Amino acid sequence: MDAGARLPPWGEDFLSWLATHRRAAALTLESYRQDLFDLAELADGQAPEALNSADIRRFVARLHGQGMSGRSIARKLSAWRGLYRWLIRQRGARANPVEGVRAPKSPAMLPKALSPDQACNLLDAAQEPDSALVCRDRAMFELFYSSGLRLAELSGLDLDSGSRNGWVDFQEGMVTVHGKRDRMRTVPVGGTALAALRAWLDARASLPVSASERAFFITRNGHRMSQGAVRGRLRRWAAASGLGVHVHPHMFRHSFASHLLQSSGDLRAVQELLGHASIRSTQVYTHLDFQHLARIYDAAHPRARK
């Protein structure tokens, strides 16, 4: 989409409705804007109500022919489907031509996880100087790996028990988080992570933070850690550890899930701990577990390789 390019009025009206009635996030609205702009460009001046299913399938084929992945096309179809549902409810459109149209399948992308040794080496790596910020970073990363939290769940934690954003219960050794789709879940916290969290709270008191700031993890200036700041600190930590692997916060979540599954084999328990609504979302970790077993077989079995 060219800078300064504008959507037709129907697109702007739909985005305005998403912002006011659905309270869509800024990033969501930005993605929808691009998807709607692509629809308008493919339609070449036609109103969306004039399009039919054959047109939508032709658009999908064109995008796929241009090299767009099936996952990206599926996201566009979801946005277009939402547009037509809005047109039917708000403007009396007669049909949704996106219903029944499917994106081409893309090769399954397995999540990347650290090995248990890599995870431990990363978390145990000495960081200089051993300051309040190092205590904070160690506590964040230990909690990621201990409890499989999403980035937004960790950055949203508060000090106050019962907070709508989530909190740590040191007495019970649990963390309660505000997850996707407005769901709360409670997950155990390991002893090492609890010790790191306690050390961070002691160090937190040394930072210039106001009594009104209730965020659990704060910056050196006393403000809540943003998600971008957490990512940046993890990049620095991983680089200083010499691990030689690009590490991002969600990799800890993948590692948490795959290592638990390797040890327990209990897929349902891992689903509950991750907060997945569907077991299908958790089943991807069975493929990681199989890859782990396959590597052991290849390394150990005398007839595994020529």
Q: Which residue is catalytic, options 75, 112, 224, 250?
A: 250
Average pLDDT over residues 241-263: 86
Task: Provide the domain count of the chain.
Answer: 2
Last residue of a domain, one of 74, 91, 108: 91
Residue-level pLDDT at 293: 45
Total-model pTM:
0.62
Last residue of a domain, one of 27, 58, 91: 91
Q: Which residue is catalytic, options 180, 223, 236, 295?
A: 180
157 vs 163: CA distance, rounded Å: 8
More confident residue, 124 or 262: 124
Residue 285 in tokens: 């970790």
Contact 261, 286 (CB under 8 A): yes
Inside any domain, residue 99: no
**Angle formed by the axes of helices 132-147 and 116-124, nearest 10°:** 160
Residue 173 pLDDT exceeds 70: yes
Question: Quick one: which of 278, 275, 247 has its CA closest to 111?
Answer: 247
Question: Do 66 and 17 fall into the same domain?
Answer: yes
CATH number, domain at 79?
Answer: 1.10.150
Inside any domain, residue 96: no
CA distances from 256 to 65, 84, 139, 150 (A): 38, 40, 16, 11
Among positive and negative, which fits the CA dihedral 115, 121, 127, 131?
Answer: positive
Contact 147, 189 (CB under 8 A): yes
Last residue of a domain, one of 91, 107, 127: 91
118 vs 252: CA distance, rounded Å: 11
Q: What is the pLDDT of residues 270-280, one digit of tens each?
A: 777 787 767 67
Question: Do 256 and 193 fall into the same domain?
Answer: yes
At 266, is the pLDDT very low, low, confident or very high (cuts 50, 70, 90)?
confident
Residue-level pLDDT at 177: 92
Residue 241 in tokens: 């550890």
Catalytic residue list contains 231: no
Question: Do 139 and 286 fall into the same domain?
Answer: yes
Residue 302 pLDDT exceeds 60: no
Inside any domain, residue 182: yes
Q: What is the pLDDT of residues 18-30, one digit of tens each?
A: 999 988 888 889 9
Residue 93 pLDDT exceeds 70: yes
Q: What is the pLDDT of residues 102-134, one digit of tens each?
A: 998 876 665 688 888 999 999 998 787 779 999
Catalytic residue list contains 58: no
Q: Which residue is catalytic, options 32, 84, 145, 285?
A: 285
Question: Do 82 and 207 fall into the same domain?
Answer: no
Inside any domain, residue 64: yes
Q: Which residue is catalytic, options 204, 253, 254, 259?
A: 253
Residue-level pLDDT at 85: 96
Inside any domain, residue 106: no
CATH number, domain at 241?
Answer: 1.10.443.10
Q: Which domain holds residue 181?
A: 116-295
Question: Do 47 and 144 fall into the same domain?
Answer: no
155 vs 175: CA distance, rounded Å: 13
Question: Quick one: which of 165, 189, 216, 162 has its CA closest to 273?
Answer: 189
128 vs 119: CA distance, rounded Å: 19
Strand order in the sheet with 184-188: 166-169, 174-178, 184-188
Inside any domain, residue 226: yes
Catalytic residue list contains 150: yes
Q: Where are the beta strands (DSSP E) in 171-303?
A: 174-178, 184-188
Residue-level pLDDT at 16: 95
Question: Do 85 and 146 fall into the same domain?
Answer: no
119 vs 137: CA distance, rounded Å: 15
Residue 296 pLDDT exceeds 50: no
Q: Which residue is catalytic, options 138, 150, 178, 185?
A: 150
Q: What is the pLDDT of residues 207-221, one digit of tens each?
A: 999 999 999 999 999
Catalytic residue list contains 145: no
* Lowest mean per-residue pLDDT among 26-40, 168-182, 251-265: 251-265
Question: Do 70 and 138 fall into the same domain?
Answer: no
The amino acid that residue 170 corresponds to is F
